[in-house]
Amino acid sequence: MDKEVVKIFIGSGEASLLERKVLIYSLRKHTKRDLDLYVFNGTHNAIERNNEPPVLAPMSLRVKYHNATEFSLYRFIIPEVCKHQGRAIFLDSDMVCFDDIGKLYDTPTDNFDFLARPGALGDSKNETWGLSAMLINCATCRFDLEEIFDEIDAGLYTYQDLARMSQVFQRYHPYKIGELDKRWNMFDQYDADTGIIHYTQLYTQPWKYRNHPYGEIWFQYFNEARNAGYVTDEDIHKTLIRAYARLDLLEGNSGPAPQHGRKRKMRRILKKKLRKLQEKILPQ
């Protein structure tokens, strides 16, 4: 019997164009399962499903303007988008997958509303939850963001309490949360057992900063995604011209960081390279 189609939502925006396309390539590379992919484009408050035209996301502007990143709160509308049926995976866009995502999708949810990594980033005591990778039971899980932000405005808890599913937040919303194997959300770490690496540090991600300890892995998948047509020259141009990645992106991960006295010269060199890239890929 054919296995169920794997439904995946990716949190993203215009600033995350390259990362999400590399993630999508990695997801497809390691599975033979059919994938139903939804991209939350928080820049435009839109949902882009597979190759279909974007549609407006069911999120009020009041809530949208509270997003810490372009897409932080969109994970909470997944049960509604799925019409409270079945299950779905949520992933941040700054990830790369190394194993069959169907294994994560098939993980039993039992009576839990969703599965997440115990211990949000920086929480060594596991008193919170890392929601950057989730397996959601859409049939039982409900998030009323309007009510939640009424309660935040009333001072019952904070945005961070919501984002980390803290014990304070759960006094008011006691979700049944199960443990997701950490291999499906490894914070800035990689080994032979890693299912997904999550590049969490915004200012040292390999597309922004040279010599990331696990940057070679991201660039391997970036180059494979380019060769496979997932990432286009136009995507790269948009990203560089909008300063969403470092100008020497195409030089890869390794290399010496410019010394202070050489920064001005380096900027001139990189601008010249960008102009050449524009001439190459922009229509004449």
What phi and psi values does residue 160 have, to the nearest 5 degrees? Answer: -65, -35
Specify whether 22 is located in the same domain as 160: yes
The answer to whether the predicted template modeling score (pTM) of the entire model surpasses 0.85 is yes
Does residue 225 contact residue 21 with C-beta atoms inside 8 Å?
yes
Nearest to 93 by CA among 55, 56, 126, 48: 48
Question: What pLDDT is attached to residue 109?
Answer: 93
- Among 156, 187, 218, the domain-final residue is 187
Cα gap 112→91, rounded to integer Å: 18
Please give the structure tokens belonging to residue 67: 């997003």
Is 110 a member of any domain?
Answer: yes
Cα gap 38→196, rounded to integer Å: 18
Specify whether 160 is located in the same domain as 77: yes
Is 264 a member of any domain?
Answer: yes
Question: What pLDDT is attached to residue 266?
Answer: 53
- Among 159, 187, 215, the domain-final residue is 187
Specify whether 54 is located in the same domain as 142: yes
Specify whether 94 is located in the same domain as 230: no
Is 100 a member of any domain?
Answer: yes
β-pairing, 87-92 vs 6-12, is: parallel
Which regions of the chain does DSSP assign to beta strands (E)?
Answer: 6-12, 35-41, 46-49, 55-56, 87-92, 95-97, 114-118, 129-137, 177-179, 186-187, 196-198
Residue 167 C-beta-side C-alpha neighbours within 13 Å: 5
φ/ψ bin of 188: left (φ > 0), alpha (ψ from -120 to 50), beta (otherwise): left
β-pairing, 55-56 vs 87-92, is: unpaired
Question: What pLDDT is attached to residue 260?
Answer: 53
Specify whether 15 is located in the same domain as 69: yes
Specify whether 179 is located in the same domain as 256: no
Domain region containing 256: 201-281
Cα gap 133→185, rounded to integer Å: 6
- Mean pLDDT in consecutive groups of 10 residues from the start of the chain, 284 residues: 86 97 98 97 97 96 94 98 97 98 96 96 88 97 98 98 97 97 96 97 92 96 98 96 95 73 57 59 46
Does residue 130 contact residue 119 with C-beta atoms inside 8 Å?
yes
Specify whether 135 is located in the same domain as 160: yes
Specify whether 239 is located in the same domain as 149: no
Does residue 40 contact residue 74 with C-beta atoms inside 8 Å?
yes
CATH number for the domain harbouring residue 120: 3.90.550.10
Please give the structure tokens belonging to residue 56: 């407006």
- Overall number of domains in the chain: 2
Specify whether 33 is located in the same domain as 172: yes
Specify whether 149 is located in the same domain as 213: no
Cα gap 169→167, rounded to integer Å: 5
- Among 152, 187, 222, the domain-final residue is 187
Please give the structure tokens belonging to residue 161: 């309490």
Percent of the chain that is helix, strand, coil (3-state, to 5): 35, 20, 45
Q: Indicate the Cα dihedral angle 231, 237, 242, 248, nearest 10°.
A: 90
Specify whether 111 is located in the same domain as 219: no
